[in-house]
Amino acid sequence: METFGDRFPESFQKVKLLGRGGFSLVWLGEHKKSKKQFAIKQIRTENNHQTHIKEIWFGTYFFEMGGLPKKEFAKHIGIKNLVKIYSYDINKSDTWIFYEKCGESLGNALYDLKGDSYVG
């Protein structure tokens, strides 16, 4: 039997683990046909906080499936600061949320900013 971190959507290749939280793992995944990379969040479908429903609601409030901003938000300057949700899949054991792949983590970026001249 596969465990939580062993499962992965069939049409994607697992590249590496990007991060983890209390109910989820975030993977870098590559679509097998298009070769496009996504940040793929794996959430336990059965969790007391229903975090997957909240995340999907938030993402789909601003974006259409496919990552385009909804018409009412398309020209809003703040939309560029939100991570695009492309799609999601809810099944019995896991919920998968497919986000755009962004740059390095904030922690890594802040660490790199310190550089040689950092005093403090």
Check which CATH number belongs to the domain holding 106 and give it.
3.30.200.20
Report the percent of the chain where pLDDT is more than 70. 85
Q: Does residue 86 form part of some domain?
A: yes
- Cα–Cα distance measured from residue 60 to residue 67, given in angstroms and rounded to the nearest whole number: 9
Q: Does residue 119 form part of some domain?
A: no
Domain of 19 in residue numbering reads as 9-114
pLDDT attached to residue 2: 76
CA nearest 30: which of 44, 18, 47?
Answer: 18
CB neighbours of 82 closer than 8 A, spacing ≥ 6? Answer: 62, 63
pLDDT attached to residue 21: 84
pTM of the model: 0.83
Q: What rounded mean pLDDT belongs to the chain? A: 88
Question: Residue 103 carries which side chain, given as an amino acid letter?
Answer: G
Structural domain count of the chain: 1
Q: Does residue 1 form part of some domain?
A: no
Q: Does residue 42 form part of some domain?
A: yes
Whether residue 111 is predicted with pLDDT greater than 70 in this model: the reply is no
